[in-house]
């Protein structure tokens, strides 16, 4: 019997949706190993996240709460995660900025194998196998980790968010491990976050994304449509690189990976790099003047037309429907 440890991500006292996806992985992996899963939450205000985490069916919620942890730095968090992880067979977090920054350091501290950005976990004879995308999602590889502790990050879009089970898990305090020399070479300066009233791109149920074809009218066309849908706004790399929108909106292999229930691709041709970040969306709607654009090959609904006419018309129709 072997157990799984989920490293939770939270901000402002609220657990990130990414953690719920990691819990879904943990449930599958723990069942295959014949064990259970626990959740570890760290930070100077980690206790604020316990109530929500306790509803996700874990054997227990481990709380590493101490003022010395301060704001998140991988160099101060990794030693504690590594110390707790010694008692587990698998350690997992979402492949978010948090998980991709923290868990490789944990793997290094434990001399453990690391599988990044996996999209599926398989089991064969009690051995876990991890499926992960390669070459911008054009191929998939299956890997097996043979170290005593296995470290994994999971792609959020590939694992449905775990729902509360109805039971309440017990919580347990864990000690803070010494930070080591690495922490002395880094310093927390500040955290700058883009504030807006829209849903967070990686967690939104509806995303309206625009490409280079929108040019300087990017926000002029997409803001009203996103408002009508209550959607987050995304963009192709080309739109970001040309300065038509903020770089933090980029969806794709080198941007954010999203899987909303509804994804609008406006003026996006469908380059491999972009498809890698959104093709797991449940419903894809595309508008492009080029009928041969690759985006139509993965779209559920496609419209060949002038987006500068189509998008305003669509926005007005949606407004009229909402108005009753």
Residue 190 placed within a domain: no
Report the CATH number at residue 241. 3.40.50.1220
How does pLDDT run across 54-100, given as a tens digit for each residue?
A: 999 999 999 999 887 888 889 999 999 999 999 999 999 999 889 99
pLDDT score for 170: 95
Number of domains in the chain: 2
Mean pLDDT of the chain: 92
- Give me the CATH number covering residue 71: 3.40.50.620
Span of 176-185, 208-217, 224-233 with lowest mean pLDDT: 176-185
Same structural domain, 113 and 160: yes
Q: Give the 3-state secondary structure of residue 204.
A: coil
Give per-residue pLDDT as tens, 110-168: 999 999 999 999 998 889 999 998 876 778 899 999 999 999 999 988 898 899 998 89
Mean pLDDT computed over 273-292: 92
Of 156, 185, 214, the residue that ends a domain is: 185
Phi, psi of 199 (to 5 degrees): -60, 155
Average pLDDT over residues 98-110: 95
Distance CA 312, CA 319 (A): 11
pTM of the full structure: 0.81
Contact of 106 with 119, CB cutoff 8 Å: no
Work out whether strand 127-134 and strand 139-143 pair parallel, antiparallel, or are unpaired.
antiparallel
Angle between helices 17-33 and 97-110 in degrees, nearest 10? 40
Task: Mark whether 75 and 165 lie in a shared domain.
Answer: yes
pLDDT band at residue 29 under the 50/70/90 scheme: very high
* DSSP assignment letter at 163: P
What would the pLDDT profile of 212-225 be if each residue is shown by its tens digit? 999 999 999 999 99
CB of 22 within 8 A of CB of 138? no
Q: Give the residue among 312, 277, 318, 280 at the shortest CA–CA distance from 298.
A: 280
């Amino acid at each position: 019997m072997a157990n799984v440890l989920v490293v939770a991500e939270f901000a402002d006292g609220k657990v990130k949706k990414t953690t719920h996806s990691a819990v879904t992985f943990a449930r599958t992996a723990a069942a295959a190993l014949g064990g259970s899963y626990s959740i570890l939450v760290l930070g100077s205000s980690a206790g604020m996240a316990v109530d929500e985490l306790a509803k996700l069916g874990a054997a227990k919620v481990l709380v590493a709460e101490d003022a010395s942890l301060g704001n998140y730095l991988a160099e101060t968090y990794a030693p504690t995660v590594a110390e707790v992880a010694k008692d587990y067979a698998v350690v997992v977090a979402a492949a978010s900025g948090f998980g991709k920054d923290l868990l490789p350091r944990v793997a290094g501290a434990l001399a453990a194998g690391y599988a990044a950005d996996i999209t599926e976990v398989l089991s064969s004879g009690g051995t876990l196998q991890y499926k992960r995308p390669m070459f911008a999602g054009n191929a998939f590889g299956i890997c097996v980790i043979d170290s005593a502790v296995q470290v994994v990050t999971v792609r959020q879009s590939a694992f449905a968010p775990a729902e509360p089970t109805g039971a309440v898990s017990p919580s347990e305090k864990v000690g803070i491990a010494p930070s080591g020399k690495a922490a002395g070479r880094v310093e927390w300066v500040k955290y700058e976050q883009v504030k807006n009233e829209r849903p967070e791109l990686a967690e939104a149920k509806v995303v309206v994304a625009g490409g280079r074809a929108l040019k300087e009218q990017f926000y002029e066309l997409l803001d009203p449509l996103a408002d009508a849908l209550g959607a987050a706004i995304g963009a192709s790399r080309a739109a970001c690189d040309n300065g038509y929108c903020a770089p933090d909106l980029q969806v794709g292999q080198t941007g954010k990976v999203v899987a909303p229930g509804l994804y609008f691709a406006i003026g996006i041709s469908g380059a491999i790099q972009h498809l890698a970040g959104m093709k797991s969306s449940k419903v894809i709607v595309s508008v492009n003047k080029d009928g041969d654009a690759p985006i139509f090959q993965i779209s559920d609904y496609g419209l060949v037309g002038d987006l500068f006419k189509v998008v305003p018309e669509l926005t007005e129709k949606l407004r009229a429907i909402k108005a009753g």
